[in-house]
Amino acid sequence: MYDYLIVGAGMFGATFARLATDAGKTCLVIDKREHIAGNCYSKEIHGIHQHIYGPHIFHTNDEKIWSFVQRFATFNNFVNRPIAMNFGKVFSLPFSMYTFNAMWGVTTPEEALNKIEEQRLKLDREPYNLEEQALSLVGTDIYETLIKDYTKKQWKKDPKDLPASIIKRLPVRFTWDNNYFFDKYQGIPIGGYTAMFEKMFEGIEVETGIDYFENRDHWNSKAKQIVFTGKIDEFYDFKFGELEYRSLKFETEVLDVDNYQGNAVVNYNSADVPWTRMIEHKYFDESTVEKNKTVITKEIPDEWDRNKTAYYPIGDELNMGIFKKYRELANQDDNVIFGGRLAEYRYYDMHQVIGSAISKFSKN
């Protein structure tokens, strides 16, 4: 009899298992996939650590979380400076003076502010949707060029039908700093995320290729308490309906060139290109890369169904209403701890998942 059965070997499950084991508890971790690390999973090819489920750049301001992850990996000094491509013209992301200069030719923060103020949607209330949020932040030109079509492509929804909260994640600054994140600590684990997770799971029993739902009574009988990191609606047999996500398809190529796009992340914001971004993985960690080899991946938004990988929760009013019903059930279930992006139906960054796991373990 284990203290915990942890369903899911991703970031929440790994963090909770490590904390519990360090506290003298016993854990059994199972995962439906044939590998650990969840969507952080990386695989080496030609010395390049490919981010199989899309790019993962670790960043945090929290000293406790930074100290925790450094137990399991040495992080390089990678800084995310993505660019956006729109009909052959290049803009810097996040929105910064580089973006405003490319858009309007302005060279001072005052000029940029004035330009945005001329175009900005003025509201005497909170924005109702993503379009209103974007227009109130950055005005018409940037919205039409860099946000509108990208959003439609990514979410397969009109920006008017998406919650304002989605666009609040996008930084806007009036400096020449094009570092995407504001956080004090940033980087990629040298040697890849999978190696980091292997260290997180040292001394812990992990079984992959196990579908919890095929024999949940059997697995539940193995532990005093369940830690569930999968989809909360699936846990409750979709009794209140299905929660909606966006999924992704990936097209990956190995190329016999040293440098394909010159940057780790290039977004494609125009409607004429089916992918939202292209990743060149070697630029995340160049320590072991073979010469004249590179790996690129195109990210293509995909329609959701329950058999696909869930990436982005759609936190609109309808879905949040469904989720609240599941959360009420979960709050009454003392034998199960729900955690992570899917179980909490929340768009978490990695450091936020770790923070949630730390918090829920400390309260248990």
Which pLDDT tens digit goes with each residue over 307-321? 999 998 988 899 999
136-147, pLDDT tens digit by residue? Answer: 999 999 999 999
Report residue 26 as tokens. 């016993």
Is 180 part of the annotated catalytic residue set? no
Task: For residues 20-36, give the mean pLDDT.
Answer: 98
**Residue 92 lies in domain:** 83-169
**195 and 307 Cβ atoms separated by less than 8 Å:** no
Catalytic residue, candidates 234, 277, 344, 348? 277
Task: Clarify whether 41 is annotated catalytic.
Answer: no
User: What's the pTM value of the predicted model, to 2 decimals?
Assistant: 0.94
Q: How confident is the model at residue 126 (pLDDT cuts 50, 70, 90)?
A: very high
- The reported pLDDT for the residue numbered 65 is 98
* pLDDT score recorded for residue 71: 98
**Is it the case that residue 104 has pLDDT exceeding 80?**
yes
In a domain, 60, yes or no: yes
pLDDT value for 80: 96
Would 196 be classed as within a structural domain? yes
* Boundary-marking domain end, from 145, 169, 193: 169
CATH number for the domain harbouring residue 20: 3.40.50.720
> Could you tell me if 72 and 20 lie in one domain?
yes
Q: Which segments of the chain are extended strands (E)? A: 2-7, 27-31, 42-45, 48-51, 58-60, 83-86, 89-92, 185-187, 205-208, 223-228, 245-255, 265-268, 277-280, 294-302, 312-313, 336-338
Residue 287: per-residue pLDDT: 80
Rounded mean pLDDT of the chain? 96
Question: Which pair of tokens denotes residue 188?
Answer: 């990629």
Q: Is the pLDDT of residue 288 over 90?
A: no
Do 23 and 137 lie in one domain? The reply is: no
Q: Is residue 259 part of a domain?
A: no
Of the listed 285, 299, 316, 344, which one is catalytic? 299
Number of domains in the chain: 2
Same domain, 148 and 204: no
Same-domain check for residues 160 and 218: no
pLDDT confidence bin for 56, thresholds 50/70/90: very high
Same domain flag for 234 and 346: yes
Report percent pLDDT > 90 for the chain. 92
Residue finishing a domain among 169, 195, 219: 169
Which of the following is catalytic: 169, 202, 317, 334?
A: 169
| Domain-embedded: residue 306 | no
Q: What is the pLDDT of residues 205-227, one digit of tens each?
A: 999 999 999 999 999 999 999 99
- Look at residue 90 and tell me if it is in a domain: yes
Say if residue 144 is in the same domain as residue 239: no
- Given 246, 280, 316, 345, the catalytic residue: 246
Last residue of a domain, one of 169, 201, 233: 169
pLDDT of residue 236: 98
Residues 98 and 201 in one domain: no
* Residue tagged active-site, from 120, 173, 327, 346: 173
Residues 218 and 158 in one domain: no
Q: Are residues 74 and 93 in the same domain?
A: no
Q: Are residues 334 and 202 in the same domain?
A: yes
Active site residue 346: no
| Residue 260 annotated among the catalytic residues of the structure | no
Q: What's the rounded Cα separation, in Å, for the pair 7 and 27?
A: 10
- Answer yes or no: is 291 within a domain: no
Whether 88 and 165 map to the same domain: the answer is: yes
Q: Considering the domain boundaries, does residue 35 fall inside one? A: yes
Domain contains 337:
yes
The answer on 318 and 235 residing in a single domain is: yes
pLDDT of residue 289: 84
Is 216 catalytic? The answer is: no
